[in-house]
C-alpha cells in the first residue's frame, strides 16, 4: 500500500520539472493523478509515462489565467475519477519572457506585475475556489501550494514573482483557516533552487557556486526533494498539519546572513 493509495489528486504544471516529479511520486504511492498543464504535450507525456509504469493518470490541458478553464479541469476530474482528495497548486508563470522582464521596480511594467499575480496567485485562489467543495464532499482533503523561498526574503531580481508567492503564503493560511473545520488542510512548500536542465544550461558555474555556498546541506536540491514533502502533505501521515509554510531548501533561507563568510573564515584559519 502506498502513502496516498486510493486518493485522487490534481497537480497543476505537472507537464515538466517539479510538477512532473510530484505527480510521478504521488502516482507511485498509489494516487490517481490528473496531470494539468497549459503545455498539453508535456501533460500527455507525463500521463503516458505514469500509465506505462503501472499507475493511473489523466492528462488535461488547463490555463490558470482563465476561470472557465479551471472549472472545466475540476469537472473533468470528477467525471473521470468520481472525487477529489488532493490539490497541488504547483504551476507558476515562470517562462523566460515573464521572468526576464521582472527586474528593477523603477522599470516595472504593469502587465509583468499583473501576469505574475494572474497565474501564481489568482490561479491558485481559483483552483482552491473550485476544488474545495469537492474536497469537502470527499470528507476532507489536502491542498498543497507551491510557493518559493523568495517569498520570505528580499532579492535583487523578480519582485513581482516574489510578491505573488508571498501572497500565496497568505492564501495558504486563509484557506487552512476557512476550511479546517471541514477537514480540509492547506500547506505551502517553499523550494530553494531546483535546476531544470534548461535552467542549469543558463547558469554559469560561478553563479551556481555563489548560491550553493549558502545551502546548509552538502548537495544541490532535486525535484524529488519537493515531491517527497508534497507526497507527505498529501498523505494521512500529515493529517494534523495545516496552515504551515514549509521550506524544502536545504536551509538556505534559515541562517545568519554571514554564515558563508564565517565558514570561509574558519576554513582559512584551519588551513
Give the residue numbers marked as catalytic.
161
**Of the residues 4, 7, 10, 15, which one makes contact with ligand NAD according to CB under 6 A:** 15
Residue 24 to residue 30: CA distance in whole angstroms:
10
Q: Is 62 in the site for ligand NAD (CB under 6 A)?
A: yes
Are the CB atoms for 230 and 88 separated by under 8 Å?
Answer: yes
Is 230 a binding residue for ligand NAD by CB under 6 A? The answer is no
In whole angstroms, the minimum distance from the beta carbon of 113 to ligand NAD comes to 16
* Residue 168 · residue 91 · CB < 8 Å: no
Write b or e for each residue in 211-233: b if 16 or more Cβ atoms lie within 10 A of its Cβ, otherwise e. Answer: ebebbeeeebbebebbbbbbbbb
CA 229 to CA 26: how far, in whole Å? 11
**Would you count residue 63 as binding ligand NAD (CB under 6 A)?**
yes
Question: Phi and psi of 176, rounded to 5°?
Answer: -60, -40
Between residues 63 and 78, which has the closer beta carbon with respect to ligand NAD?
63
Say if CB 43 and CB 37 are below 8 A apart. Answer: yes
Q: Phi and psi dihedrals of 225, rounded to 5?
A: -60, -40
Output helix, strand, coil percentages for the chain, rounded to the nearest 5.
50, 15, 30
Residue from 29, 32, 77, 146 touching ligand NAD (CB under 6 A): that is 146
* Residue facing ligand NAD at closest CB distance: 13
Residue 194 makes contact with ligand NAD by CB under 6 A? yes
Identify the H or E element spanning 76.
Answer: helix 67-81
Residue closer to ligand NAD by CB (options 138, 208) is: 208
Find the binding residues for ligand NAD in span 91-110 (CB under 6 A).
Answer: 91-94
Q: Which position among 10, 25, 35, 38 is part of the footprint of ligand NAD (CB under 6 A)?
A: 38
Among 18, 28, 35, 57, binds ligand NAD (CB under 6 A): 18
Interacting residue with ligand NAD among 29, 90, 121, 142 (CB under 6 A): 90
Q: From CA 92, how far away is CA 53, in angstroms rounded?
A: 27
Pairing label, strands 56-61, 141-146: unpaired
244 binds ligand NAD (CB under 6 A): no
Which is closer to ligand NAD, CB of 57 or CB of 194?
194
By the rule CB under 6 A, 19 interacts with ligand NAD: yes
Shortest CB 143 distance to ligand NAD, Å: 14
Q: Which residues bind ligand NAD (CB under 6 A)?
A: 12-13, 15-19, 37-39, 42, 62-65, 90-94, 119, 146, 148, 191, 193-194, 196
Amino acid at each position: 500500500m502506498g502513502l496516498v493509495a486510493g486518493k485522487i489528486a490534481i497537480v497543476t504544471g505537472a507537464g515538466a520539472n517539479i510538477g512532473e516529479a510530484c505527480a510521478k511520486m504521488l502516482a507511485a504511492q498509489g494516487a490517481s493523478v490528473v496531470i494539468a498543464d497549459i503545455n498539453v504535450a508535456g501533460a500527455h507525456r507525463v500521463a503516458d509515462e505514469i500509465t506505462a509504469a503501472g499507475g493511473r493518470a489523466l492528462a488535461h490541458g488547463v490555463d490558470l489565467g482563465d476561470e472557465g478553464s479551471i472549472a472545466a479541469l475540476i469537472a473533468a476530474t470528477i467525471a473521470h475519477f468520481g472525487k477529489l482528495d488532493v490539490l497541488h497548486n504547483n504551476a507558476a508563470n515562470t517562462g523566460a519572457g515573464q521572468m526576464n522582464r521582472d527586474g528593477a521596480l523603477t522599470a516595472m511594467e504593469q502587465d509583468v506585475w499583473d501576469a505574475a499575480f494572474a497565474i501564481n496567485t489568482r490561479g491558485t485562489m481559483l483552483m482552491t475556489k473550485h476544488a474545495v467543495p469537492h474536497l469537502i464532499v470527499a470528507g476532507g482533503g489536502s491542498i498543497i501550494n507551491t510557493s518559493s523561498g523568495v517569498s520570505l526574503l528580499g532579492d535583487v531580481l523578480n519582485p513581482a514573482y516574489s510578491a505573488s508567492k508571498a501572497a500565496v503564503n497568505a492564501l495558504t493560511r486563509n484557506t487552512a483557516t476557512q476550511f479546517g473545520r471541514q477537514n480540509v488542510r492547506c500547506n505551502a512548500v517553499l523550494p530553494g533552487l531546483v535546476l531544470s536542465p534548461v535552467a542549469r544550461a543558463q547558469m554559469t558555474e560561478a553563479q551556481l557556486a555563489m548560491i550553493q555556498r549558502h545551502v546548509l546541506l552538502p548537495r544541490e536540491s532535486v525535484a524529488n526533494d519537493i515531491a517527497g514533502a508534497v507526497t507527505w502533505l498529501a498523505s494521512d501521515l500529515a493529517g494534523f498539519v495545516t496552515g504551515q509554510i514549509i521550506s524544502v531548501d536545504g536551509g538556505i533561507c534559515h541562517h545568519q546572513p554571514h554564515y558563508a563568510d564565517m565558514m570561509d573564515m574558519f576554513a582559512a584559519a584551519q588551513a
